[in-house]
Amino acid sequence: MEENSIQLRALKYYLIIFGVLSLLVFSTVPVIFGDTFLWQPRNLATELMMSIVYFSMGIVMLFSARNPTKHQTFVDFIILANILHAVVMAITAQTASQYLLDVLPIGIMGLLPLLFYPWGLRNYLLG
C-alpha cells in the first residue's frame, strides 16, 4: 500500500480523531459527565473499567496513526470492536428505547473506517 494514498491518509486522520475522542471524551464520561450520557442503572465499577479500555485504545490509536499499515491488526480490532459494541447496544436498547439513538454514533465510528479501508474490504472480510 502506497504510504501517501488517500485511503491511508483518511485512516490516519480517523485514528487521530477517534484516538483523541477516546482519550478526552469516552474515557472521561463516568467521571466528568455523571448521569448525562450513561445508561441506567449505573454501575461505577463497570463504567470505570470501560473508561480505561477506551483510554488505552486512544493511546494505541494515536501511536498506530503514524503507520497504520504496520498496525493493521489493531485497526481491524477497532473496527470489529465498535461494530460489535453497536450491535450489543442495539439489542440492549430494545428493552430501553430511550437509548436507541445512542447506538448510531458507535455504529458510525465502527463502520466509518470501512469506507476508506486501505487494504480492501475483500481482505478485511476474507482475511
Confidence of residue 121 (pLDDT cuts 50, 70, 90): low
What is d(CA 125, CA 101) in angstroms, rounded to the nearest whole number?
27
- Is residue 101 in a domain? yes
Number of domains in the chain: 1
Q: Is residue 1 part of a domain?
A: no
- The residue assigned the cell 494514498 is 5
Q: What is the mean pLDDT of residues 76-81?
A: 90
C-beta separation of 93 from 36 below 8 A: no
pLDDT tens figures, 97-120: 777 777 788 788 888 888 888 877
**Reported confidence tier of residue 62, pLDDT bands at 50, 70, 90:** very high
Query: Does residue 16 fall inside a structural domain?
Result: yes
Decide if pLDDT at 29 tops 80.
no
Q: What is the mean pLDDT of residues 67-85?
A: 90
**Sheet strands (E) in 35-107:** none
Domain around 33: 6-126
pLDDT for 2: 59
> 39: pLDDT confidence band, cut at 50, 70 and 90?
low
Query: Quick check: is 32 in a domain?
Result: yes
4 pLDDT higher than 70? no
Q: For residue 1, is pLDDT > 60? A: no
CA 83 vs CA 19, 90, 110: distances in Å? 16, 11, 5
Helix (H) or strand (E) holding 69: none
Average pLDDT, the chain: 82
